[in-house]
Amino acid sequence: MGCALTASSIEPSPARVSLWADTAGTAPARRPALPGPAEYDVAIIGAGYTGLWTAYYLSRADPTLRIAVLEAEQVGFGASGRNGGWCSALFPTPWKKLVAASNQDDARRLHHAMASTVAEVGRVCAEEGIDAGFQHGGTVTLARSAPQLERLRTEVDLSRRRGFTADDLRLLDADEASRFLAASQVVGGTFTPHCAAVHPARLVNGLARAVEGNGVAIFEDTRVLGIGDRAARTASGTVRAEVVVRATEAWTARLPRTRRQVAPVYSLMVATEPIPPGLWEEIGLADRTTFSDGRHVIIYGQRTEDDRIAFGGRGAPYHLGSRIQPGYDTEARVHALLRRTLTELLPALGGIGFTHAWGGPLGIARDWSASVGLDRRTGQAWAGGYVGDGVGTSNLAGRTLRDLVLGQSTDLTTLGWVNHRSPAWEPEPLRWLGINSGLHAMRAADLEERVTGRDSRIARLMSPLIHG
């Protein structure tokens, strides 16, 4: 998280509830739990974006299907209700791995499908009347040092060699980048139009209402204890279905047979109070363009519909044994660093207060490769491993699962991520040592670049190890 990682003082934490939960409007009534054993055509585990998009597209394609969504907590309880609100075309799998799994044309086709996905989410929001604050303003990534600018220039060059154009990603000079966002120390940047800012909680709640309107049953407070062939076991009884879809992302680590399939890694966020119009004229983001910069420890932000900045980043530790606990959603040190990072990035915010601090886990596969698939023999389907890029990717997953479940061969079912199987993470404590060592290395890489003004050797050495 850049220079903010040297913070020496910790500010008192603001409200722990997420900004999104606080501004989502009237909370929907708690849905009933599964009353007992049941049979459905399709049972979906997890009422986040992946599960709800899958239910949405399946119920639209075949209204006769009996579909149930089983949720351990409430709709949108996981990353779907707490994320940074980037509905982007970002796809986590490294390009070389996509090409190795298929070919250059198919890798390009997957990235084009992700770009189209951003518009598809906006289309559904408009059609279903989902007030998700969808604003298709793209993403600006700032370069604030010479090494960052060189990495972004290399990224654009690679994009051209892979067959993408300036309509997908273009390099910005310092003035162009600053017109998007008047940050400190800007020397350049990149812009892609393939991203929209959204209100995550309103999106997931609106999607749940649309799904229920299509006749899908959503059961909350229904924890799945295990998945078998064409069955999901709960405390209320077993749900049998021709297809069982696992849409549990970070919580996959809690299921008996998939504990090492993804690592739940925490990402934390803060939000400012509403910023007055005059200050926005100075800052920029007139189109609610989402923003980041070229540092190694990821940061991300958006201008919200109610004129705040919601800002997040990595930096919280991975917890031994892939533990997920409510207490991990708040990490005072990291939240303080996020506040300092944002005000260092945008000094004009010096007098603006912060009102919210929250977080949650995201899912990372061992090879950093998202996947979607269906095993016809067992009836088990899955999607996930989004590495924090799930707002858009989950929609593509839902449409792909629709086609797989219905037995249709389409452009989506032949994309390179379909039926990919990631290797298991190492057993503990190797997993804990490896993930946290990678995090510390990226912090050190940012510090190295600030001190030397040159591209980090640490980052070059660690990159192959981190990405498998």
Check which CATH number belongs to the domain holding 128 and give it: 3.50.50.60
Helices (H), 129-173: 146-161
Q: H/E element holding 60? A: helix 49-61
Say if residues 252 and 261 touch (Cβ distance below 8 Å).
yes
DSSP state of 415: S
What integer pLDDT is reported at residue 16 of this predicted model?
66
Closest CA to 309 of 359, 253, 352: 352
How many whole angstroms separate alpha carbon 354 and alpha carbon 358?
A: 12
Closest CA to 19 of 276, 222, 198, 146: 198
Domain count, the chain: 1
Q: What is the pLDDT of residues 275-322, one digit of tens each?
A: 999 999 999 999 999 999 999 999 999 999 999 999 999 889 999 999
Q: Which residues contact 60 (CB under 8 A, 6 or more apart)?
A: 214
Q: What is the mean pLDDT of each run of 10 residues along the chain (468 residues)?
A: 32 67 91 98 98 98 98 96 97 92 93 98 98 98 97 97 97 98 98 98 98 98 96 97 98 94 96 97 97 95 98 93 94 94 96 96 95 98 97 98 98 96 96 93 89 87 64
Structure tokens of 137? 């303003």
Helices (H), 174-310: 174-180, 200-213, 277-283
How many whole angstroms separate alpha carbon 55 and alpha carbon 47?
A: 9
Say if residues 270 and 342 touch (Cβ distance below 8 Å).
yes
What integer pLDDT is reported at residue 14 of this predicted model?
55
What integer pLDDT is reported at residue 456 of this predicted model?
85
List C-alpha distances in Å: 356 to 13, 134, 353: 8, 21, 10
What integer pLDDT is reported at residue 6 of this predicted model?
29
Residues 343, 345, 350, CA angle at the centre, nearest 5°?
25
DSSP state of 139: E
What integer pLDDT is reported at residue 10 of this predicted model?
32
Say if residues 449 and 455 touch (Cβ distance below 8 Å).
yes
Find residue 243's DSSP bridge partners. Answer: 42
Phi first, then psi: give them for residue 243, nearest 5 degrees. -130, 135
Which residue range forms the structural domain that includes residue 128? 2-466
